[in-house]
Chain A
């Protein structure tokens, strides 16, 4: 039985930090794609666009109803067997696509709810002066909806960041994978996984701090 090795733990951080970039890059790209996709999905639901609406309902149901890990496996290991064009898909892209699709489904639902929570009179007041639907949405309704949706969207983004750790199952070397490699070569599992946990925790604390600043800023507005 070895005891806790603090020096080993401290020595891990510089090693893991070298792989932090890929984790953050994955998270940032997936966040942007997921948010944009979520908005499109939410608008299709809000405006009940024929045909697309039914597709979106099934899309959201599937991506919320199945585990992210299974979705990543289908995308990376499964689909290329069916669609040869996907054989060249690298693990990083697959992870970004999988995370984007998965989290867009969740974020679409909170955006949809937030848009529908904006009083009807706000739409009417926009239309009554001759605005188009897009103008009403962009200038009046969406700014109000985003304020409502912000806390839950931020929670999903934090969840997304942590979920990038699943990318190691696709063979991608990010901080989780690196921690596992270190653990299996040194047999210091506790220190290795504690180090990676502390790094995730640190980033999430930072994000939460930014979130509360942003919320304070937005609630000051009106």
Chain B
């Protein structure tokens, strides 16, 4: 469904992503793991053009965007289909929980105000935060904010959700509730690409694990293959630190 081909990106002459190719199927949960500074987040940001790749193509359901000649309108359509969950939640600070979820529905998905708010309230009750509907982000815990960040993406009915280290900024006490929510989405066959440092979570939830190192995909496969029997020495070395 999502076809990422030959994506390259460098910053200040330093190559961060080297010719990345990745296919994601409908309903598939792909976890991207690997050492820090290896380009995982940059790849995710390139997939919905928060960073414009230097070269390569992203295709999703008939829409193909070439990095070298991307039009704003196409980029917006791509982003509409690939909403993003941020490490630091990045909820709209001036909007309440329910408005945060309703906002993209109104401005991007052209839903009526009533319809958007109704959907948003439904999502809030889905994620167990119905009682926080009128709270502003600053009045919510990190875990609650990230659940709303995920709810904001869920509500759009987009093709797939991109998650950039959704639990990395959370206090340990809030990690569980966020992982539980993502797990539930996975069970509902929500297509997701998740950059994560939570190895146990990746192993349990992902259909496919992609190991990245030095700006490239080193190996990928089912969790059993990658975690159980890593082939590349770099994967072995990386995973050894978690299984000790």
Contacts and interface: CB of A to CB of B under 8 A. Distances in A.
A90 interface: no
Interface string A23-66: 00000000000000000000000000000000000000000000
Contacts of A140: 92, 94-95, 103
B83 interface: yes
Contacts of B152: 129
B80 A130 contact: yes
Nearest to A140: B92
A40 B99 CA distance: 27
Interface string B62-76: 000000000010001
Contacts of B137: 222
A132 interface: yes
Interface stretch (A7-15, A100-108, A119-127, A167-175): A119-127
Contact of A124 (B72, B86, B108): B86
A144 interface: yes
A128 B138 CA distance: 21
B91 interface: yes
A78 interface: no
A222 B93 contact: yes
A143 interface: yes
B92 A130 contact: no
A126 to B, nearest CB: 8
A11 to B, nearest CB: 51
A221 interface: yes
Interface in B77-105: 77, 79-80, 83-84, 86, 88, 90-96, 103-104
Contact of B94 (A124, A127, A129, A144): A144
Nearest to B77: A130
A130 B136 contact: no
A144 B50 contact: no
B50 A129 contact: no
A135 interface: yes
A129 B104 contact: yes
Given A130-B76, A130-B77, A222-B136, A125 B86 contact: yes
A139 interface: yes
A131 interface: yes
Interface of B: 48, 50, 72, 76-77, 79-80, 83-84, 86, 88, 90-96, 103-104, 107-108, 136-139, 152, 156
29 contacts: A121-B86, A121-B90, A122-B90, A122-B93, A124-B84, A124-B86, A124-B90, A125-B86, A126-B92, A127-B79, A128-B79, A128-B90, A129-B80, A129-B156, A130-B79, A131-B76, A131-B107, A132-B72, A135-B107, A135-B108, A139-B92, A139-B103, A144-B94, A147-B94, A221-B94, A222-B93, A222-B94, A222-B136, A222-B137
Q: Which 8 A-B pairs have the closest CB atoms?
A: A130-B80, A222-B136, A128-B84, A129-B104, A125-B90, A130-B108, A121-B90, A130-B79
Interface of A: 121-122, 124-132, 135, 139-140, 143-144, 147, 221-222
